[in-house]
Amino acid sequence: MTRDARQDVVFEPSPEIPVVWEGDLCVIGGSCTGVFAAVRAARLGLRVAVVENHTIFGGMATAARVNEWHSTYDVGNQNQIIAGLTMEMVQRLTKRDAVIERARHERTQYVLDPAALALELDLLIRENAVRPFLAARCVGGKREGGVVRAAFIEDKSGRRALRARFFIDASGDGDLLRRVGFEAYQNEQLQPVNLQAVVAGFPELSGPELSEVIQKNAEKFGYPSANSTPWAGRLPGMPELRNVFGPRMNGVDASDADQLTEALMASRRSFRNFGDMVGSVGGSNLRVVAWAQALGVRETWHARCLHQLTGRELLEGVKFTDSIACGKYPIDIHSETGTSLRYLDGREESIAPDGTGAWSRWREESLSPTCYHVPYRALVPRGAENLLVAGRLVDADREAFGAVRVMVNCNQMGEAAGVASALALRDGRAVADVNAKEIRETLIAGELRIGDIRGVVDWGHDDYDCIEFGRSDPQAGSDGASAGEPATARDVAE
């Protein structure tokens, strides 16, 4: 963290920071990714705390009201490849009539009630004896070499310290990672942000009809016109309301406080301007019922880890020796000129700013893998002995991140990081020296509490192998298996 040399400063006396909690694992960021990391570790016997900036757990799914979880099935929708705490939470929400399950689809599978999800996450944390810190922001930490000794938080009680043997940064912005000095980077062009809102009276217009209204009237009503058509989703049990994803705000770094503030205020104005615009053409009487508590953020910072996941590796279905998560969500990149989606089965979808789409192929379907993989070493920051990252901080280039950034993928990373922390603590190892095979086996054998659905794909299972095409990890044997088990992140990276 640096400041402009010309900036005026005020010096704060160095305070003694009271230690208010001490345990085995401290998770920074209480999104589903962070909560699942905490719960996985707690179920393995660790004493865990989780710190969340907002007043509810769940991150983008609750505070930002991005209430869609994408497909848990492989290409072709034949085999479930994602389960674990994601499916445990779906089952809990199903009992409360708080989720809509769609037919197996390339993208969205579950539509969630954000309020119900937040409450279920509260209960999950309590049931697993995780220490919660809500409305608390990580503002720094103490680091000695590669070891983080403490995280500093600020909340209504002031500045406080949390000591732990291990840490996971699931904040999305690197609130701990960056502040204790581990390397991070931003992709040259960040994906845009959106603000969501619960809306009554959303116009009953098709996408192209709505886009036409916007293109003709945007300038008059002060509404953004660059890839800005909002889309409306349903809410379980509330047919009269819509969860509306507002216009994409391009060029915003949501980790910058001033840019975040302006984006929030501009987005709220855009909803009013949109309502005035559609009302002027007889479209509806749109009313915002409730604002999201947070901006919907796709991307800010990435940790510099032992491996950067690339778009090539993802699209070719490379099977890593240290794979700890898998998925099929397409490479989905938003920009001012539209949205591009590249699917594993070889199809490509281009959506123009006016909402019209065009399909093409970028490779033959017969050459497609059934899923892609995320390696554990993409969660291990360089030089870190007791710190992992999970979720949006994953080390991935622009193309790969366009796919792995969605919540069903990030949830898996959280679970894997929680398990890895527990194994590292048990064996007295650095995070880079944990055996990835044992991480997978522990995830699969974990207390999923959802029958016999597996936590992650069993990559050793004879009758189902995620990789049917593409190259194996270049650091592995020719068949994709490790040339010398056991493999650790450090072994593979070297």
Q: For the residues of 177-202, what is the DSSP string, one character each? A: TTTTT--EE--SSPPPBB-EEEEES-
Which has the minimum average pLDDT: 17-31, 37-51, 153-167, 337-351?
A: 337-351
Average pLDDT score, the chain: 88
Rounded-to-integer distance, Cα 241 and Cα 234, Å:
7
What is the per-residue burial (b if ≥16 Cβ within 10 Å, else e) of 180-196?
Answer: bebbbeebeebbbbbbb
| Phi, then psi, of 241 in degrees rounded to 5 | -115, 160
Rounded-to-integer distance, Cα 436 and Cα 442, Å:
10
Among 66, 58, 146, which Cα is nearest to 110's? 66
Across 336-348, average pLDDT: 88
Q: What confidence tier does 292 reach under pLDDT thresholds 50, 70, 90?
A: very high
Given a cut of 80, whether residue 275 has pLDDT beyond it is yes
pLDDT, residue 351, reads 83
pLDDT, residue 339, reads 87
Across 314-340, average pLDDT: 91
pLDDT, residue 336, reads 78
Q: What confidence tier does 431 reach under pLDDT thresholds 50, 70, 90?
A: very high
Q: What confidence tier does 480 reach under pLDDT thresholds 50, 70, 90?
A: very low
pLDDT, residue 470, reads 35
pLDDT, residue 476, reads 44
Which has the minimum average pLDDT: 131-140, 192-201, 285-294, 363-372?
A: 363-372
Q: What confidence tier does 486 reach under pLDDT thresholds 50, 70, 90?
A: low
pLDDT, residue 2, reads 54
pLDDT, residue 338, reads 80
Chain segment 187-200, per-residue pLDDT in tens: 989 999 999 999 99
DSSP state of 446: S
pLDDT, residue 3, reads 57
DSSP bridge pairs for 374: 325
Q: Please give the structure tokens belonging to residue 127.
A: 């049931």
Chain segment 215-232, per-residue pLDDT in tens: 889 899 999 877 678 889
Please provide the DSSP assignment of 335-369 as one string: ETTEEEEE-TTSEEEEE-TTS-EEEEESS-GGG--
Across 76-83, average pLDDT: 90
pLDDT, residue 284, reads 74
Given a cut of 50, whether residue 122 has pLDDT beyond it is yes
Given a cut of 70, whether residue 479 has pLDDT beyond it is no
Given a cut of 50, whether residue 321 has pLDDT beyond it is yes
Percent of the chain with pLDDT over 70: 88
Rounded-to-integer distance, Cα 285 and Cα 303, Å:
45
Q: What confidence tier does 449 reach under pLDDT thresholds 50, 70, 90?
A: very low
Across 475-480, average pLDDT: 40
Given a cut of 60, whether residue 371 has pLDDT beyond it is yes
Across 441-446, average pLDDT: 84
pLDDT, residue 346, reads 92
pLDDT, residue 446, reads 62
Q: What confidence tier does 102 reach under pLDDT thresholds 50, 70, 90?
A: confident
Percent of the chain with pLDDT over 90: 71
Among 303, 298, 263, 340, which Cα is nearest to 191's? 298
Across 308-319, average pLDDT: 96
Given a cut of 60, whether residue 484 has pLDDT beyond it is no
pLDDT, residue 382, reads 98
Among 291, 401, 389, which Cα is nearest to 342's? 401
Given a cut of 90, whether residue 312 has pLDDT beyond it is yes
Which has the minimum average pLDDT: 28-37, 212-221, 351-360, 457-466?
A: 457-466
Given a cut of 50, whether residue 125 has pLDDT beyond it is yes
Q: What confidence tier does 415 reach under pLDDT thresholds 50, 70, 90?
A: very high
Across 466-477, average pLDDT: 39
Amino acid at residue number 17: I
Among 71, 128, 27, which Cα is nearest to 414's? 27
Given a cut of 80, whether residue 373 has pLDDT beyond it is yes
Given a cut of 70, whether residue 428 has pLDDT beyond it is yes
pLDDT, residue 105, reads 66
Rounded-to-integer distance, Cα 488 and Cα 494, Å:
10
Across 451-464, average pLDDT: 34
Domains of the chain are 15-191+299-330+373-488 (3.50.50.60), 196-291 (no CATH)
User: Which range, 111-115, 457-461, 472-476, is most confident?
Assistant: 111-115
